[in-house]
Amino acid sequence: MKYLDIETPSMNIQEVEDWSKEIWIIERQIFGIPVEKGLSCNLCNYSSRNQNFMKNHFSKSHRGSKWSDSTKECKVQKPFKGQFNKWIQVTNTEELNMESDQEEDWQSILKEDFKSPKARKFQRI
């Protein structure tokens, strides 16, 4: 689908439109879309990639409020292109914890080592 950066064949254009209108904040990052540093508005759910868009947003939506007082840094993703182009705030962007996987690998390596003839020989002695 030309509007999507990601492959989600289960969504049609209407669903993408609805989704992009309703969703401003997602809890988990969408896999395969780069997460970038952005800004989010404290007065509404708007988020954006840079200050210029935020200044523009404040002059349109929150006239009288200073944009720098009511924004915070956040992580953003832009899953859609074209007419649905919009930055979405990601609240949880923790990297996948690889430690447990590595541990598992170490265990299997140790087990393999133990099974090797050398290890058996050592055990016999």
Residue 44, SS3 per DSSP = coil
- Taking the complex as a whole, how short is the minimal distance between the CB of residue 97 and Zn ion, in angstroms? 34
Check: CB of residue 83 under 8 Å from CB of residue 5. Answer: no
Largest CA distance in the chain: 83
User: Which one, 45 or 116, has the nearer CB to Zn ion?
Assistant: 45
Find the shortest distance in angstroms from Cβ 70 to Zn ion.
7
- Closer residue to Zn ion in complex, CB, 42/83: 42
Chain residues that interact with Zn ion, rule: CB under 5 A: 41, 43-44, 46, 61
Listed residue (37, 18, 54) closest to 89, CA to CA: 37
- Residue with Cβ nearer Zn ion (46 or 80): 46
